[in-house]
Structure 1
Amino acid sequence: MALFNSATTEHHRMNTNPYVGMWVTADRNIRHELLANGRYVEARGKRERAYLGRYVVTGNHIDYWDDSGFTADGDFVDGVLHHAGMILYRDK
């Protein structure tokens, strides 16, 4: 019998999230990096670390908990991230 712990669950989640990577607005002003460890870093203009926090993806939906206390969410639709009134595309 296998025992599952938080490290095992974290490892599984890190290896199964298809949305990990950099997401950007068309003008590249907003750069939103989803890290494999469930954290995100959002850059705005010249502010490289404007927002930091954690996220969880469930299906095509994403929930965010920013380190400063606010929450947000979004949806992935046809390979595009719709988040807080913004449209972000996977960075090439």
Structure 2
Amino acid sequence: MHGVIPILLAGTNPAPATDTRAPARGQITESEAKMTEHAYVGMWVTDDGYVRQELLPNGRYDEARGSRRSAYRGRYEVRGSHIDYWDDTGFTADGQFVDRDTLHHGGMVFRRR
């Protein structure tokens, strides 16, 4: 029976192993870190207070409507002043930040709170 013997040549370094483990609790991934770089994280509310949308720093959002908490949840990405949404149910939408404190989304105007 013949076995295989690994040989390491002098002056070479084996390729480093890739760490595929999930980040430790309390740590964020690279994509989550990029999400915190935009200025729009926080609570956004329509003028009548009926729709409340929280953009979380981990790239997720949680939207309440009236007394219905967490009516919609999903992920989002901000590129410049444009925002894209992917709801957990498969619905997609987008919006535009017209200034630091105003978001136009779904025919509604949201203000930063």
Q: Which residue of 1 aligns with 2:61?
A: 40
Q: Name the SS of the counterpart of 1:16 in structure 2.
A: coil
In structure 2, give the amino acid aligned to 1:39.
Answer: R
Cα RMSD after superposing both structures: 1.4
Measured after TM superposition, the shift of residue 66 of structure 1 is: 0.2
Q: Name the SS of the counterpart of 2:57 in structure 1.
A: coil
In structure 1, give the amino acid aligned to 2:84.
Answer: D
Q: Name the SS of the counterpart of 2:47 in structure 1.
A: coil
Q: Name the SS of the counterpart of 1:81 in structure 2.
A: strand
Q: Name the SS of the counterpart of 1:10 in structure 2.
A: helix
Measured after TM superposition, the shift of residue 17 of structure 1 is: 1.6
1:28 aligns to 2:49 (yes or no): yes
In structure 2, give the amino acid aligned to 1:68.
Answer: T
Q: Which residue of 1 aligns with 2:19?
A: none
- Ranked by relative contact order (alpha carbons within 8 Å, sequence separation 6 or more), the top structure is 1
- Pairs aligned (count): 85
Contact 2:45/2:51 (8 A) holds in 1: yes
Q: Name the SS of the counterpart of 1:68 in structure 2.
A: coil
Give me the TM-score of the superposition, normalised by structure 2.
0.71
Contact 2:32/2:57 (8 A) holds in 1: no
- 1: distance between equivalents of 2:86 and 2:76? 6
Structure 2 unaligned blocks of 5 or more: 1-27
Q: Which has the higher helix share?
A: 1
Task: Give me the identity figure in percent.
Answer: 61
Larger radius of gyration: 2
Give me the TM-score of the superposition, normalised by structure 1.
0.87
Structure 1 unaligned blocks of 5 or more: 1-5
